[in-house]
Amino acid sequence: MIETIELAKKLIAFESVTPAKQDIFDYLIKLFQNQGFETKQLNFNGDGSYEVINLFATYGMSNAGSNAKHFIFACHVDVVPAGNIEDWT
């Protein structure tokens, strides 16, 4: 399993200003699938909006009809440009 700090560094390194590029989602899908999650990607756009990519990763849902524990992770990237870095304090 990837360490928390290393995972954060990897995620921060991806270009993620909306509309996001597919590569961060490809990385997350592989990461989740390697841990036994099922993944589903849904892309939404319309009304003149840019495309927003959504990712759902589920674990234990195949037994959801029982009292089995399960987990759902849902995410999308919605990041505005940083602007002039010199203005950050």
C-alpha distances out from residue 2 to 9, 20, 43, 67, Å? 11, 23, 27, 29
CB within 8 Å of 84: residues ≥ 6 apart:
none
Host domain of residue 13: 4-78
Per residue in 7-16, pLDDT (tens digit) is: 999 988 988 8
Tell me, yes or no, whether 89 lies in a domain.
Answer: no
What's the average pLDDT block by block, 10 residues per block, for the chain (89 residues)?
Answer: 88 84 92 94 82 89 70 85 84
pLDDT of residue 63: 62
Tell me, yes or no, whether 83 lies in a domain: no
Domain total of the chain: 1
Whether 28 is in a domain gets the answer yes
Would you state the pLDDT for residue 65? 63
Residue 19 lies in a domain: yes
In terms of Cα–Cα distance, which of 18, 74, 21 is closest to 49?
18
Domain-embedded: residue 64? yes
